[in-house]
């Protein structure tokens, strides 16, 4: 079982790498994010379940550190349980991300919206809220005819899979590449004295 699982993961990664849009979409997303940060804007990230964990990991690597010490970069994952339960209770679970984007997002920011299916209603509403505020939407989803792909300014799509874990395994690789590319673009690394 373990060998077949590794083989399946490898095939998924090879399929993703061989797609003609893969490198270009990651490069465009990283460049867009780096430009936003250079211009004094921020990146907001969101997702559900494991995708929220990925959104949080993305934000903490930017505000904290990735491979080397550097100045913190402005990134926020929408993951405050008090906020999420407040809006979920007073409004709707479908509104939790959109209301945050409406309240905190500013023109020139970037929204990293993560959904393995590409059809989560709260992620779609967040993308809609972002577009109304001229916030660029980077969608991290799968290769299907899904709503997030359609609503994204830049869509990074993994191969379609029957299992969300295979999609998430590619998503975390993309997240690490985005962070590494942002750091490289900003050339904002310092020595290890901090």
Of 140, 94, 133, 134, whose CA–CA distance to 113 is shortest? 140
Total of domains in the chain: 1
- Which residue shows structure tokens 């799968």? 142
**Residue 191 belongs to a domain:** no
Stretch 36-56: mean pLDDT: 98
Split at pLDDT 50, 70, 90, the class of 58 is very high
Determine the structural domain holding residue 120 and report its residue range.
24-186
Exposed/middle/buried for 100, CB within 10 Å: 0-12, 13-18, 19+?
Answer: buried
Rounded to two decimals, the pTM is 0.94
pLDDT for 25 equals 97
Phi, psi angle pair for 77, to nearest 5°? -95, 135
Stretch 176-184: mean pLDDT: 96
pLDDT digits (tens, 9 = 90+) for 59-88: 999 999 998 889 999 999 999 999 999 999
Residue 168: both structure tokens together: 């998430």
CATH at residue 124: 3.40.50.10490
**Residue 32 belongs to a domain:** yes
CB-CB neighbours of 160 under 10 Å? 17
**Residue 86 belongs to a domain:** yes
**Residue 2 belongs to a domain:** no
pLDDT digits (tens, 9 = 90+) for 90-114: 999 999 999 999 999 999 999 999 9
**Residue 149 belongs to a domain:** yes
**Residue 30 belongs to a domain:** yes
**Residue 1 belongs to a domain:** no
């Amino acid at each position: 079982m373990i060998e077949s699982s590794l083989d399946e993961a490898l095939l998924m990664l090879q399929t993703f790498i061989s797609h003609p849009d893969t490198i270009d979409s990651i490069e465009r997303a990283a460049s867009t994010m780096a430009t936003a940060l250079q211009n004094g804007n921020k990146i907001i990230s969101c997702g559900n379940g494991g995708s929220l964990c990925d959104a949080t990991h993305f934000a903490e690597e930017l505000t904290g550190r990735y491979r080397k010490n550097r100045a913190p970069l402005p990134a926020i994952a929408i993951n405050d349980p008090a906020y999420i339960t407040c809006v979920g209770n007073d409004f709707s679970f479908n509104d939790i991300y959109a209301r945050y984007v409406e309240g905190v997002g500013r023109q020139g920011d970037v929204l990293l919206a993560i959904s393995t299916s590409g059809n989560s209603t709260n992620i779609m509403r967040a993308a809609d809220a972002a577009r109304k505020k001229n916030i660029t939407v980077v969608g991290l989803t799968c290769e299907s005819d899904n709503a997030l792909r359609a609503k994204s300014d830049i869509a990074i799509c993994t191969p379609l899979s029957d299992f969300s874990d295979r999609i998430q395994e590619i998503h975390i690789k993309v997240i690490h590449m985005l962070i590494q590319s942002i750091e490289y673009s900003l050339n904002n690394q310092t020595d290890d004295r901090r």
